[in-house]
A and B are shown apart, each in its own frame.
Chain A
Amino acid sequence: MNFFLEPLTLLTFFPLLGVLALLFLKPEWRSAHRWTALVTSLITFGLSLWVLDQFNAASGDLQLISRRPWISVAGWDIQYYLAVDGLSILLVLLTTFLMPLSILSTWTAVEERVKDFMIFFLLLEVGMTGVFLAQDLFLFYIFWEFTLIPMYFLIGIWGGARRIYAAVKFFLYTMAGSVLMLLAILWLGVYQGTFSLPGLIDRGGIPGDIQMWLFLAFAAAFAIKVPMWPLHSWLPDAHVEAPTSGSVILAGVLLKMGAYGFLRFNLPLFPEASVRAAPWVAALAVVGILYGAIVSFAQKDVKKLVAYSSVSHLGFVMLGLFALNPQGIQGGILQMVNHGISTGALFLLVGMIYERRHTRDLEAFGGLWKVMPLYGTLTLIVALSSMGLPGLNGFVGEFTILLGAFGSQAIGSYWFAGLAAVGVILAAVYMLTMFQKMFLGPVDKDENKKLLDLNWREILILVPLLVFIFWIGLYPKPFFDLMAPAVEKLLVGF
């Protein structure tokens, strides 16, 4: 029993209790399903706060370790090994924080097969939390691949018109990368003798050219998930077809898993290869930033616009991580959180208007500011945060990343940071264009005249996100404090 009461184990697997409860509820009791899921995710969030409370921010080590030998026969050394440190604590919190909000957003959006929806949603939470906490490569792989399955169902069952295509594409793309990672994991396990990440880092000593191959194999999985240009083509399809809550989780958490993977595995396991690859990754990241921004600008579909903006924003994250200096990595981590909050909020906002109008075409809107002033205000704030206005969260992350990239030895050129800065301007262009097309000008469509402004539930969803947008924007120190020691420890190897 003790095992299940260890904080991280409890946190990871608590949503399974909700799943269990849901299994016993009749399919017709839809609001019971919603409430069960909501309460489960809220308790999980509470548990993550409890974990935060026990977390010692001054230390850069792995903490709150839950560790058991799992498969240790016949030359295997696989452990059940969960732990948290400064690199992952914020992402875990982000996950548990976005879950209840996403569930709230489905309250009226998902009417069909609510029970199944909630089961998949809670299973997804287990997988995501596990990915951020696992410190054993086998365990990590299991969680990593497991997240695919519920997300596949979420897109495939509750998605838009081309949902099956999008779901299968999402599945095959992500799996293509993961299977290569599986081989790299096995190589490490066979030739380094253990699957535990700290054990592997301590051991080190992988020859340079093999490091490069392993780096590439891991990068294949993570780069597709991030997604880095040119491996991003699954993302717009998945985002556009996914239900709103799915998009929120996809953008808010699933993409972070890719960037987190680079941070957690590629950098410490393959330091030499990381240094060698840094300029190339940075180049791809910058291409992604610019490409994402330009393509966003051309979109007619609001959701697609936000999806491509993710490609651009995640480019920043990757640029920061591969600056391989404290500013870059801290900025990268913070930007992951920022992107989760801002883009999550954007998807929620798009979902709210979609529920009212059943279209996402930019041309179908116009002058909404007059009809829905509250909705307009909130969208403006989120859009400004997403494009990096000083005083809001986006600015802090992007600025730190640019700072890191300018001073980075690993990247080795100012050009990357310079071009990335252009991306910030482009972000302002497409975000403001979107805002203008939706909210300004005359209300020239009849359907738009009778739209209702946000209701209480919707406000309740958005307010927590806005709180963080301002908090991180105005006073980011507590967030940086959480990760600083761990980042420092990570960079010792370089």
Chain B
Amino acid sequence: MLFDYMAIAVFVFFSTAIAVTAILLGGLFGPRRKSEVKSEPYESGMIPIGPGTRRMPVRFYLVAVLFILFDIEVVFFLPWAVSFRKLGLFGLIEMFIFIGILLVGYFYAWKKGALEWE
């Protein structure tokens, strides 16, 4: 039975091997010329100012979480829309219930002030 997976093992082996070889070869034979421009964090962009780990207002996290929450749930709409005809009326009602539950969360977040910046 394990033999069935041989193809995968071969695939994994070769893909790893090629990647490793490429990096190794580049490291061994590539020329190294240092210059001021090259040692900058962003070779093509502006020069960074201040420390890299800046403090962010915690509100961003809240917004991010809310975004993920509602955004991911919108993802559920897509498969539903694709098979809408097959699901029929039952599917429609189900989606209303789903949206209803979402709305509960939305109202809760709204009323609790999670949508206000201050």
Is A–B contact present in the complex under a CB 8 A cutoff?
Answer: no
Name A residues whose Cβ lies closer than 8 Å to a Cβ of B.
none
